[in-house]
Amino acid sequence: MNASVFSLPPGSARPASDWAFAALTLTGLAWAFWRYSGSMDAYEQAILLLSAPALIALGWFWQPLRTLTAVVGAGTLLALALYGRKTDGFGADLTAANQVFWLKYVLASQSAILWMACLTFLSTLSYWAALAWRRQATMLESFGTKLAWAAVTLALIGTMVRWFESHQIAPDIGHIPVSNLYEVFVLFAWLTTLVYLYYEARFQTRALGAWVMLVVSASVAFLLWYAASRSAHEIQPLVPALQSWWMKIHVPANFVGYGGFALAAMVALAYLLKTAEPRSLWWGLVVLPLTLVGVLLAAAQFGGLAEGTVTGLQGWARKFGGIGVFLGLCVALRQRVTERLPALPILDELMYRAIALGFAFFTIATILGAFWAAEAWGGYWSWDPKETWALIVWLNYAAWLHMRLIKGLRGAMGAWWALVGLLITTFAFLGVNMFLSGLHSYGEL
């Protein structure tokens, strides 16, 4: 492990680069506070002030975040400067995005997010190409890592510029871009990728990129479909329940949790392909998804359901069928696709760390959500479907950690559990929005 990439050895003096990064971060904080504090309430100002020491500490601990911070800051400021060339009666003229080359094709929020999507797919393909061309594996994996960093960079620039754009539409429209499925899937994509890149450097292995970036690519594919079918990329005013500063901290904390759980599940999949019995793999990874396809098709054919519901079930049947076919290929080619994976103890440790990280942040997010609910609806807990399934997710991973730490749960059982945990989490995040209704119905599909 390269100690220079992470925290310093005990007793070592911090180099000048550390203090330069701290000075640059504090300068950016001072400028942002001077420029935008008038539009913030006391809670938002406190969050801004606390973000600077947190970012400095993270940059000192993990050096690549310094470059990321500098590039994202420079790209965002360039976009703001380009928008500032043309103004209307309220602020920046957002139609400039269709007239200025760098805004139209790179730095406007939608352009940057589309670049993020493209780079995410290319990164995933590069990691998988490394499994096919063994002689070029090291180069292809390194290229996949660079593309993943580029995707995170463009996603963050897109997020920051979208935040600015929302404030230029009309009074009381501006908000942090974590308010709908489109925006939170962008958040999930870059957060999950960033968490993976940290563990990639920490464990000095790129062989897991092919697996982890799969779930990121799936989220990006959903993002593109959702944006195209619902025009979700358009910035909309917040509904009253979301007009709270709690959203600014609850949602990001939640998605650090989701990112950790997703990463752990993909590590679990790699672990199982490397070590589990072929028969259990065929039943658990192939037969089960294809059986679910049959159930969905039967429900669509003989359930007497509405036409829209039938179409939806058929669509999900195709998706699960595709997943089953892909997993079947992975099982059939398991030796080839797992030969570059790290040793089983490393995979097990990474799975544990990802779940522990996700559980910590998910716990914080759940507590923050209770405070938010008390402010918005007058009660900390109402057994709303979203809240109930959040509790199920929390209990699932609390049990997983308990069984590992107290009972010594290791190996295939823990991996299967982590993989099932992703299904539970996915239903809590998307399934509740699709099939149930309640106080969180503003996020329905």
| Mean pLDDT of the region 303-327 | 75
pLDDT in tens, 20-38: 999 999 999 998 888 888 7
Q: How confident is the model at residue 439 (pLDDT cuts 50, 70, 90)?
A: low
Asked whether residue 438 carries a pLDDT value surpassing 60, the answer given is: no
| Mean pLDDT of the region 271-287 | 89
Cα dihedral sign for 303, 388, 363, 236? positive
Q: How far apart are CA 312 and CA 293, in angstroms?
A: 12
Q: Is 220 helix (H, G, I), strand (E, B) or coil?
A: helix
CA dist 354 to 246, 261, 263, 272, 404, Å? 25, 7, 7, 17, 13
Alpha helices in 303-410 (DSSP H): 307-332, 334-338, 344-377, 385-407
Output the CA angle 150-80-185, nearest 5 degrees.
45
pLDDT in tens, 357-379: 999 999 999 999 988 888 877 77
Q: How confident is the model at residue 167 (pLDDT cuts 50, 70, 90)?
A: confident
444 phi and psi angles, rounded to 5 deg: -70, 155
Residue 312 or residue 13, greater confidence: 13
The pLDDT assigned to 411 comes to 86
| Mean pLDDT of the region 41-67 | 89
304 phi and psi angles, rounded to 5 deg: 65, 40
Q: What is the enclosing helix (H) or strand (E) of 200?
A: helix 181-203
**Domain extent listing, the chain:** 69-236, 255-445
Q: Is 384 helix (H, G, I), strand (E, B) or coil?
A: coil
Residue type at 215 in one-letter notation: V
Q: Mean pLDDT across the chain, nearest whole number?
A: 87
Asked whether residue 434 carries a pLDDT value surpassing 80, the answer given is: no
Q: How confident is the model at residue 111 (pLDDT cuts 50, 70, 90)?
A: very high
The pLDDT assigned to 437 comes to 59
Q: Which tokens go with 401?
A: 């950690």
The pLDDT assigned to 43 comes to 77
The pLDDT assigned to 373 comes to 84
CB distance 299 to 305 below 8 Å: yes
CB distance 60 to 18 below 8 Å: yes
The pLDDT assigned to 125 comes to 97
Q: How far apart are CA 258 and CA 424, in angstroms?
A: 11
Largest Cα–Cα distance in the chain? Answer: 72
The pLDDT assigned to 68 comes to 96
| Mean pLDDT of the region 209-232 | 91
Q: How far apart are CA 82 and CA 108, in angstroms?
A: 10
Asked whether residue 183 carries a pLDDT value surpassing 90, the answer given is: yes
Q: How confident is the model at residue 230 (pLDDT cuts 50, 70, 90)?
A: confident
The pLDDT assigned to 306 comes to 66
| Mean pLDDT of the region 230-252 | 82
| Mean pLDDT of the region 205-216 | 94
pLDDT in tens, 384-400: 888 899 999 999 999 99
Q: How far apart are CA 153 and CA 161, in angstroms?
A: 12
Asked whether residue 299 carries a pLDDT value surpassing 80, the answer given is: no
Residue 84 or residue 96, greater confidence: 84
Burial class, 378, CB count within 10 angstroms (exposed 0-12 / middle 13-18 / buried 19+)? exposed
Residue 411 or residue 349, greater confidence: 349
| Mean pLDDT of the region 91-97 | 78
Q: Which tokens go with 49?
A: 């002030």
311 phi and psi angles, rounded to 5 deg: -60, -40
Q: How confident is the model at residue 206 (pLDDT cuts 50, 70, 90)?
A: very high
| Mean pLDDT of the region 163-192 | 89
Q: Which residues contact 206 (CB under 8 A, 6 or more apart)?
A: 127, 130, 141, 142, 144, 145, 200
